[in-house]
Each structure stands twice: as C-alpha cells, then as structure tokens.
Chains A and B, each alone.
Chain A
Amino acid sequence: MDFGPYLLLATLEGAVGAAVLALTALGLALVFGVMRIVNVAHGAFFMLGAIIAWWVADRLGVGSALNFLAALIIAPLAVGAVAVVAERSVLRRLNYNPESTIVATIGLLYVIEQVALMTYGPDARPVVAPWDFRIQLPWFGYSGYKILVIGASIAILLAVWWGLTRTRIGLMMRATQFDSETARAFAIPVDLVYGGVFAFGAMLAAVGAVLVVPIQQAHYLMGTDPLLLSFIVVIVGGLGSLRGTVLAAVIIGLSDGIISVFFTPTLAKIIATLAVATILIVRPRGLFGTRPT
C-alpha cells in the first residue's frame, strides 16, 4: 500500500480508538469534575460492561443485531447498578475523601476483576458485530461497524452535552461541580447528584465497552489500558473541562494510531507517555484547565 492510504487507514483506526476513548474518559471526567474523586475502578466498570455484553448476547441468541442492541441497553444499566451500590456502600461512607477513595476504588477494581475471573473465566470472547458491512474504499475495504462506532460515539457525546447544558439535571450537576456547598444551600440534593454522577460515569464506560467488544474481545483484564488512557486524557484535557477531555481524547486517540505507524509500538508508547508528561509539566492544569488542581 502507498503511504497515503496507509496513513488514512491509521487515521481511521485512530478515530475508532478516539471515539471509544472519548466516551470512557468523559465518564471519568464527570466523576472527577463533580465529585472530585479519582475512580481507579473506572477501567473495571469498562471491563464489566464488555463481559455483561458478551453474556447478554450469548444467552439471548436472537440474531446478531438484536443481541447487540439488547447488550447496549442491559450492560450499561447493570454496570450503573453495580456503581450505585459501590457508591452508596463505600464511597459515601468515606465522605469522598480523595485519598481514601483512591484506595477504596483500587480495592473495588480488584474485587470486580477477580469476580469476573471467577465467573467469566480467563478466556477472551467476542460479541458478533450487529452488521457485517464493509465499506469498499479504492485501496482497502473498511469495516462498516467501525464507522458506526464513531457515529454512535459522536451522537452520545452530543446527547451528554445537551443534557448537561440544557436540562435541569444537567444544571444541578454543574451547580454541584461549581460549588457543592452553595448548591446544597439552594436545595440541590447534592448527595443524590453524587450517586447519579458516579453511576452515569460508570455507564458511559460500559457503553464504550459494548461498542468496542465486537472489535476487541471481552477479557477480564481489558480495563487497564482504557483506565490509563482515560486518566491521561482527563488530565491533559484539563480537570473540570469536559470540552478539553473530548478534544484530548481525539488528539490522543488519533496520534496513538498514527504514531504506531511510524515507530515500533514500544518506542511509540515511550514517546507518547513522555509527551504527556511534558504537556503536564509545561501546563500543570492541562490544555484547557482553568482551575488549579
């Protein structure tokens, strides 16, 4: 293949990665922004979403499109439920203390991962893509499903943006993020907002996972990479800036795809991690952060 088409393929692959990453990172950024806690178990919620998606598709068996659609609805709801339980029973009791919640969510990460290992097992299993359509470009054929992932991600991001800026619930969330004590004084149920945001963040990760599972198989350790990348994205984008998070996801997802075309994967990762560190050293608040961390 010539250089041009090769670059196009790399860009497309990068865009799919960026689409999933944007959803996952947005979930982490919401939790971080509103609740001011670092959810280390975010990757575990991602993995749980993928595994439940496989389970739903496997049990239902009514054709790949319906299976997938059912998984897309059931998996995020189930993951949201798990997140609510965890939030109410552990995080709330810790009073959302930043350091304690890091430890607690590391514990939660181990618990979810190990329960997945005990029930689902150590194998990697795929979910069949809902449609089997290839877009034929002049140089290569490209999976239509991957284009669908990009479209779905953009639609969900727009919906979240609309929800945050145009609805009453979004207003409550933003008020809580801005100043939780004043929000409480204005009769906003901050406690409920926290529970809801935590569940919603986990659900976004689960949606990302369901979208990715036809491309990349479900495995009990699959949450580590999304977690690390989401962390990077949230910090580079700037804490509290959702726009920055999405933009950083696009930049990092795309460059991840493109850099790995030009360098060996290991060297590409070394360059990428050092680049992220450099960005943070030069701009400690991230690219779009305004508030001190």
Chain B
Amino acid sequence: MRSLRVNKAVTLHLGAIGVLFALQFVLPDYHHVNLARVMVLAGFAMAYNISFGYTGLLSLGHAMFFAAGLYAAGLMARFAGVGAEGGLILGVIAGLAMAVAVGLLALRTTGVSFMIVTLMFAQAAFLTIFYFGEYTRGDEGFIIPSGLRTLFGFSLVEPATRYLVALSLFALCVAVSHGIARSSVGRVLAAIRENEERTRMLGYNVFLYKLAALAISGAMSGAAGAAYGFLFGYVGATFASIQYSIFPLLWVLMGGAATVLGPFAGTLLMFYLVDISSAYTSANMLIVGLALIGLILFFPKGILGTIRERAAPWLP
C-alpha cells in the first residue's frame, strides 16, 4: 500500500515535469517566457512551502532570502564578472546564510511575533539595499550584462536554454520537496506544525528542526533568486519589498499548503490572473483581491489541498 502511494506520487511529479518539458515545443514565444518565469517563481514558492506549509512557520520576510540570492549573484556578476555557475552557488550560499542568521534570532519567537520579526528583518534588508544605492542602484536596479549570462558555455539569453534551466531548477525543487515530505524529517516537521509542545515532549529538538527547515527554505529561495537574476537579467529592490514576501504566501495558499505541486499551481494561476486581467484594466490587482477572497471562502485548502481532501488522499 505504502509503496503504491509513493509510486503514484513519483509518477505524478515525473509526469508534471514531463508535460512542462513537452510544452516548450508547442508554446508560443510569449507564454514560453512566462512559463519559464513561473517555474523559477514556483521554486521560490516551494521554498516558502517548506517552512510555511510543512513546518507551519508563517514568515512574512521571505523576500529577503530571494533577494539575498538575487543580489549575491547580481552584484558578483556586476563587480567581479562571475558567471551563472558561480552566481547560482553564491545565491544558494547567500540564501542559506541569511536564513540561518535570521532563524537563530527569529525562531526564538513564535506565531505573530515570528511574522513581525521576519517582516522587520526583511524590511531592514530592503532598506539596506537602498542604503548602498551606490552599488545596488536601489529601486532602479541594474542589468546583468548578457555576456555573463552563460551556464557551462550555453547562453541564458537564448529562450530554449533559459526554459531548460528554469525547468531543471523547478525539477530540483520538486525533488527536494518530495524528498522532505516523504522523509522522517518531514514527519517531524509536520508534527511541529500540528503540535509543537507535544513534539518537544517526545524528545525532538524542535528549534533545530525549525532552523533546518528555514535553512533549506532560505537556500532554495536564494537559488530561485540567483536563477531569476541570471535568466531574466534584471536585479532590483522591488524583489526585496514586502510584496515579494506576501506573494509566496499567496501562491502557496492558493495552490495548497503542504502539497508538493501546489505552489506551482498557485504561482501559475496567480501569474496568469494578473496577466489576463491587466489586458482589461489597469486596476488588475482588484481581480487578484477578489480571487483571493473567493478562493479562501470556497477553497480554503487551496487547489491541490481541496483535490487531496475530496478525491486523492495520496497526494503528497
């Protein structure tokens, strides 16, 4: 029974990656770029899902981990001529280091205090980007020179390579999420989410587990940030703003918290919701707002969460 369940999940995830792989040959240019973007952002959403969905850590500061990766990669490219290979590694390290540093302090708090402490750290990080405006060019941001945007000799300016790199990152994030969800560590994380006191009483070092979850989440966010910078060539302070801390929360809740593919579904839906509505009105966030209220009223567990509840309890 158990192996059947695992196999179903593996098949689903491989199938999803396969469909995304096949889509690149049929999609028109516009949606081709969009989907690459969505896959990278979904990586960020999956990172958020590890701390929020599986562990129950409601952070309002994940933009700082994304931005840490984005700026570590972007600044090193701009001032030291580092390419995508080094940039991605730097991004992961920056996100990881930031998450561990913030986690060591912020995880002393829980619940709403944790929300605010992470929000404050993210806000401080956001303002720091402006403080060093000489190098970061603040809100305006800077472009990563297209000559540096290469990975093992392949140009990331090329749509086809860009799509494949985005897909690889996405697949890697799915694998990590799947691995965690299925592992014993994942079960401890879920136990912490459901009842922290009891988990502590059972002898688990709750603090270390939470720190580990945040560290993995930060590293993944950093990877997504660095990839975003190198794939799309732009680094700006907007990506460190509160909005980019709220986005992953919305994407995850919309797709279904604590599901592996939910964050992707949420990101995709939200992206196209904004995209389509902006064709009709400049107030496109109105549609987003209404969609949010509607979803939370009628599908409070998100898309995949609802499917899991009603039709497919095996969904990871």
Compute how far the CA of A266 lies from the CA of B115 in the bound complex, rounded to whole angstroms. Answer: 22
Contact A280 B117 (CB under 8 A): yes
Rounded to whole Å, the gap between the CB of A60 and the closest CB of chain B is 28
Compute how far the CA of A94 lies from the CA of B299 in the bound complex, rounded to whole angstroms. Answer: 11
Compute how far the CA of A263 lies from the CA of B113 in the bound complex, rounded to whole angstroms. Answer: 27
Contact A293 B127 (CB under 8 A): no
Number of CB contacts from chain A to chain B under 8 A: 118
Selected contact of B58 from candidates A99, A109, A266, CB within 8 Å = A99
Selected contact of A276 from candidates B105, B120, B127, B291, CB within 8 Å = B120
**Residues of chain A at interface, number, CB under 8 A:** 40
Closest residue to A99 on the B side, CB-wise? B58
Compute how far the CA of A219 lies from the CA of B261 in the bound complex, rounded to whole angstroms. Answer: 39
- For residue B283, CB closer than 8 A to chain A, the reply is yes
Contact A235 B113 (CB under 8 A): yes
Q: Name the A residues within 8 Å of B281 (CB-CB).
A: 118
Contact A38 B112 (CB under 8 A): yes
With A107-B289, A113-B285, A293-B112 known as contacts, the answer to whether A281 contacts B124 (CB < 8 A) is no
Contact B119 A231 (CB under 8 A): yes
- For residue A110, CB closer than 8 A to chain B, the reply is yes
Q: Chain B: interface secondary structure?
A: helix
- For residue B293, CB closer than 8 A to chain A, the reply is yes
Closest residue to A93 on the B side, CB-wise? B297
Q: Name the B residues within 8 Å of A277 (CB-CB).
A: 105-106, 117, 120-121, 124
**Residues of chain B at interface, number, CB under 8 A:** 42
Contact B109 A106 (CB under 8 A): no
Contact B116 A231 (CB under 8 A): yes
Q: Name the A residues within 8 Å of B286 (CB-CB).
A: 110-111, 114-115, 118
Mask of A92-108 contacts with B, CB within 8 angstroms, 1/0:
01100101100110111
Compute how far the CA of A224 lies from the CA of B290 in the bound complex, rounded to whole angstroms. Answer: 19
Compute how far the CA of A277 lies from the CA of B121 in the bound complex, rounded to whole angstroms. Answer: 7
Contact B130 A103 (CB under 8 A): no
- For residue B296, CB closer than 8 A to chain A, the reply is yes
Stretch at the interface among A145-153, A160-168, A267-275: A267-275
Q: Name the A residues within 8 Å of B120 (CB-CB).
A: 232, 273-274, 276-277, 280
- For residue B292, CB closer than 8 A to chain A, the reply is yes
- For residue A117, CB closer than 8 A to chain B, the reply is yes
Q: Name the A residues within 8 Å of B297 (CB-CB).
A: 90, 93-94, 104
Q: Name the B residues within 8 Å of A281 (CB-CB).
A: 105-106, 108-109, 117
Closest residue to A110 on the B side, CB-wise? B289
Closest residue to B122 on the A side, CB-wise? A273
Compute how far the CA of A90 lies from the CA of B300 in the bound complex, rounded to whole angstroms. Answer: 12
Rounded to whole Å, the gap between the CB of B238 and the closest CB of chain A is 14
Mask of B289-316 contacts with A, CB within 8 angstroms, 1/0:
1111101110010000000000000000
Q: Name the A residues within 8 Å of B58 (CB-CB).
A: 99
- For residue A170, CB closer than 8 A to chain B, the reply is no
With A107-B296, A118-B283, A273-B120 known as contacts, the answer to whether A280 contacts B109 (CB < 8 A) is yes
Contact B293 A111 (CB under 8 A): yes
Q: Name the B residues within 8 Å of A113 (CB-CB).
A: 285, 289
Q: Name the B residues within 8 Å of A106 (CB-CB).
A: 246, 250, 289, 292
With A103-B292, A104-B296 known as contacts, the answer to whether A293 contacts B113 (CB < 8 A) is yes
- For residue A239, CB closer than 8 A to chain B, the reply is yes
Q: Name the A residues within 8 Å of B115 (CB-CB).
A: 38
With A106-B250, A231-B116, A284-B109 known as contacts, the answer to whether A266 contacts B127 (CB < 8 A) is yes
8 A-B pairs with C-beta separation under 8 A: A94-B296, A97-B300, A103-B250, A111-B293, A224-B242, A273-B123, A277-B120, A281-B105
